[in-house]
Structure 1
C-alpha cells in the first residue's frame, strides 16, 4: 500500500516498521506540500488537514485515512463514508497530557496559584486564606471518549463527584453518573466544574451558548480542551463581563490563533493556552503506536 505521511514525524526505525508491513512510505514535511504532488496513486493518508489543500476526488485510489488528531472535524467525513474509505483517529494519543492540563488548571484556580505567584514576584510574605478543596466538588464532563476517561481517572483521586454527558445510551464506568444531552442543563445547574472534551459536530457547535452559560453556577469553573467552536465565544465574553465564573481555562478557540486584542485577554480569572494541552514528551511515540496498530489491522483484514 502506498502511504503518504504528513502531520507527524517518523523516525527511521518507525518508517522501517511500517515498510515491513509491506507499505511504501512517502513523507511530506508540511501538509501544504501536497498541493504540488501527484496524488493519483496514494492508497492511504496519515494526515491532519490535507483536505484543506486537495479535494477527495483527487485521490481515486484512497482506501484509508489515519488522522493524527483525536477529532475528525477537519476531514470530509460524509464523502469518505460515501467512498467507503476507512477512517481512524489518533485514539488515546493525547489523552494523558490533556487530562494533566485539566488537573493543572483546576488546581491553579482552587489553590489561587496566580495570587501566590504575584506575592512571590513582589517578595511579599502573606498567607492566602481563600484556598478551596477539590474534594466533594461536582464535575461534569461533556464527552465520554478517551480524553474524558483520562480526566475522570485523575479527578476521581481527588474524591470529586463525576458526571458524564453523552449522545447515546451506553455504559460509562469511569463516572459516577451518566446522562444524555437532553439532561445537560440539569447537570450544569449543579456543577462546580464543567469540562468540555467532546467532538465538534453540527450538534455540538455553540453547544455552550448564552442559555447554557446562564444556567451555570456564578462561581463555577469552565474548561475547554475540545474545539473552540463548542463555545459561543461572544456569549462567553458577555457572561465574563457580567462577572460570571470563578475561573475559565481555554486551550482552544473559535479562530486560531487569537489576536492580541481579543477580549478574552482582559479577564484575570481566565487562563489561556495556545492549543497546547495535547503536547508532551510521550505523544509522538504513542501516536505512532496507534497508527501502526490501525494500519496493521487494516492490512491483515484485507490481505
Structure 2
C-alpha cells in the first residue's frame, strides 16, 4: 500500500527475489516494478492475495487507521504485515488481536502510533512481532542529498519558485 517512491523501491527489491507485486495508489496508475495496481476501492484484492503486505502509506485523513480489524480478517493466515509508512495508518489494537487470534502470521513494525514505542507496549513482548528502529533513511548519503535538494530549491526560490523539487502537496498531506 502506497506506490510512491518508497513503494516503487520496495517493489523493485521484491522483484529481485522473484516476487509478484501488487500495489495500491490513489489513481491506479501504473508504477515501475509493480505488476498490478489497485485503488483503495479494490484494497480487498491486495489483502486476499498478498503473502507479504507492506504499508508505506502517509498519514492523512483518508489513511487514518485504514488497516484494521476488517483488513486483518481478509488477509491470509500465513501473511506477514510490514508497516514502514506511518503508525497512524494502523489500528494497533486490531493488529494485536489478529496476531493473538492467528489471523495473520507475523508483523514487522518500523512505525507506531506513539513514537518512541512506550516501554510497556505489548509489541515488545510478542513473539509474532518484530520491532525495528525507524532509521532506514539514514545513510552516508542522506545529508549530502538533503543539502543538494535544499540548495536546488533555494536557487529555484530565488528565481521565482517555479522549479522546486520534492514539494509537499499540502492538500494531500505529503
TM normalised by structure 2 equals 0.86
| Equivalent of residue 255 in structure 1, options 111, 114, 125 | 114
Structure of greater Rg = 1
In structure 1, C-alpha distance between the alignment counterparts of 2:50 and 2:64, rounded to whole Å: 21
Q: 2:23·2:46 contact (CA, 8 Å) conserved in 1? A: no
Map of 1:11 onto structure 2: none
Q: 2:99·2:106 contact (CA, 8 Å) conserved in 1? A: no
Q: 1:225·1:277 contact (CA, 8 Å) conserved in 2? A: no
Is 1:160 aligned to residue 19 of structure 2?
yes
| Equivalent of residue 148 in structure 2, options 289, 292, 299 | 289
Is 1:151 aligned to residue 10 of structure 2?
yes
**1:302 to partner: Cα distance:** 4.8
Report the RMSD for the aligned CA atoms in angstroms.
1.6
| Equivalent of residue 210 in structure 1, options 69, 77, 85 | 69
Q: 1:205·1:230 contact (CA, 8 Å) conserved in 2? A: yes
Map of 1:46 onto structure 2: none
> Residue deviations 1:85-125, cap 9 Å, x none?
xxxxxxxxxxxxxxxxxxxxxxxxxxxxxxxxxxxxxxxxx
Map of 2:125 onto structure 1: 266
Map of 1:184 onto structure 2: 43
| Equivalent of residue 244 in structure 1, options 81, 103, 106 | 103
In structure 2, C-alpha distance between the alignment counterparts of 1:276 and 1:251, rounded to whole Å: 9
**1:282 to partner: Cα distance:** 1.8
In structure 1, C-alpha distance between the alignment counterparts of 2:153 and 2:134, rounded to whole Å: 26
**1:277 to partner: Cα distance:** 2.3
Unaligned runs of at least 5 residues, structure 1: 1-141
